[in-house]
Chain A
């Protein structure tokens, strides 16, 4: 079919036609940007660790204890509630307003109860104290109650840990299988960078990490990996086609070619996750926050961390007298 082409109607909307940005040239800016956020995150976590014994605020899943979300009929008065607790002899409680103001909700937390034969005692005490000393009707069963004892707290920690380790291992193995090891390492470094910054954001904003947040973080690691794979796939394809170009040129060209897809996909995924953050309600707030931050950082890291790392490693090996060109990765399986 050699006939001339005719576009139907108007010209297509194309955001990134013929882009030719020198991405690798900007790597020092990227490094600075990443460092700023990483260091901010680390400092924030360190400060939090010094103050509370854990690097990030932990949700009730991991720190154990009792958390009661109570909905009052009238606007709750935090001081009055605290007094009611004190009168009843309850110590170490944390009381804070919760959710939108119009809902009159309060979150009351108690520290972990070591004695597992009476795990529910804390909740009963709080409920009784409120009935006895604070005159604002509420539903006894609360809007949401979470009571986690030490046994389950440990179990959940273990589960979260195993999920994280196996996830990362699984991904590393898959990458090793599909690409050369160096690609895999560059991708994993990018993912680690993403996780560090995302968790740092949690420490910075004081949001809690629960098991669902861990699930979100693992998912965004997967997402970041995907993004990196798309760029690497293109690099690999271009390397196969052109043996004469220098690696930095190939990498730059590959990123420019996939830029359209990268921005579009992350843009669309970001919009869907943003919709979740805005409309999805309080329960999912931590989860959607992790995804919102993670998708932005994940997209950024494929271009700004994984690709430069690949080139830097290659140049290091070249200056030390080893192989001159990146070994072409394993043949793609169809």
Chain B
């Protein structure tokens, strides 16, 4: 009755090895330190174990919508003026509804002219309605939704950039609670939350200044170029990086102090290609008033250079090719990467809308360490108690159960390593619960085997029957708990998700070990037994 025992044992060992690899990767050594390091590389710890800050920020998208409609109001004023159409006032009637624009006081006799003027430019984005002397423009719901989504995405990118500059390892920044315009920010290891919040929620300055001279290798060289004395309306600004000076070395520019456009005057920026030259460039749009300003400046300064300054440093220098109103291009010989970076910088220079903190949770690093210690202690005690009991109560079969339990834990951790799941404190509790629930499968099988033995069956028949009868119940109980855990995963927050994860992995591992592995160990033992001998159970 070999039943392909060797093949099955090989399969089990293969699973064991694969899981150990999943947990440790290839450790650099066998010392305790090297192993711990390998372990923490693969298994991510949640904030409650590592210490750190968890923030949920709400993006006030209404502000972005409001900014957009403000712009439209200004545009409409210009358009109506240009078309010589009289109007009284154009305003937004309801601060709570920033998507509404109202035009009043138009002349009833020119209402069709007004209508066509409005339709021509705005009917793509707005629903135009009204008669005679009053008109209402409502931003189309899908346009508004798009704008809100884009605002959230921009906010996420801005926050990510800022968090990057803080040097936090493995931050999590993502949209939270789809549709609610919320952003989740998790910063492991952060101890000074106030400073972090200031940086994240502040408005970084992004400006474009006219370049007077540069790049110069040192400040003295820069000074020399303006005759030794810096004029009062110029300033010296440092910059570095390929986009600014072609090298990583620090250089100095002399720029005009007054910026041409700055900060929130940029509405958006995207990478693109120059239609004429095929070169890569960055297309940006400015707000309406900024556009006017920019037009004035650029039409008088074709051929000159402008510098993009962010956070007080020159990030990029570009040449003005032609007059630019509110949509323009910055071109240079950019690589794809540089274009993406520049767009991102232009986009993320300022937060598109203000961020409100709606939830904060911080866990100190010492509490995190304590939690790990406590959780692991509880787990070890639990495992030892269960193993000792199984050995005592089921004797030989107890060894079987203990081996299965050990393999169970290894496979569980292997799953976690491979899926990059996060281990949280409730997750450790989930492991402990899996031990208790997992041993249930063994108890079910062993009790049934004992019953069959009492009823007079021979060893291998008893084992057969034991497994056959218990199998259905084992599946039933595992499925119900896995379904329950899956629901917890869907609706739970971070720590609860961690609990659901270890529970599901543990139960899946248990299905494998309690039924397949246990059976193989029994079979191996049965093979070696003499006829008439009984299993130790």
Contacts and interface: CB of A to CB of B under 8 A. Distances in A.
A14 B366 CA distance: 46
A143 to B, nearest CB: 5
B337 interface: no
Most buried by A among B358, B381, B483: B358
Contacts of A3: 458, 531-532
Nearest to A225: B480
Interface in B66-89: none
B56 interface: yes
Contacts of A334: 471-472
A230 B472 CA distance: 10
B531 A163 contact: no
Interface in B467-503: 469, 471-473, 476-477, 479-481, 483-485, 487-488, 490-493, 495-496, 499-500, 503
Contacts of B429: 276, 280, 284, 287-288, 291
B102 interface: no
Interface stretch (A28-36, A215-223, A304-312): A215-223
Interface residues of B, number: 89
Contacts of B389: 268, 271
Name A's interface SS.
helix
B437 interface: yes
Contacts, number: 253
B155 interface: no
Interface stretch (B261-269, B290-298, B444-452): B444-452
Contacts of A116: 58, 356-358
B277 interface: no
A163 B371 CA distance: 26
Contact of A143 (B367, B451, B491): B367
Nearest to B472: A332
Given A4-B532, A146-B360, A174-B479, A275 B381 contact: yes
A149 B358 contact: yes
Contact of B484 (A1, A5, A219): A219
A159 B493 contact: yes
A69 B361 CA distance: 11
B362 A144 contact: yes
A269 B383 CA distance: 11
A178 B503 CA distance: 23
Contact of A5 (B394, B396, B453): B453
Contact of A9 (B361, B371, B433, B536): B536
Contacts of A291: 429, 433
A1 B457 CA distance: 9
Interface string A163-178: 1001100110010001
Given A149-B359, A163-B487, A268-B386, 13 more contacts: A5-B456, A8-B396, A14-B450, A69-B367, A145-B362, A146-B360, A212-B426, A212-B496, A215-B500, A223-B481, A226-B477, A275-B385, A280-B432
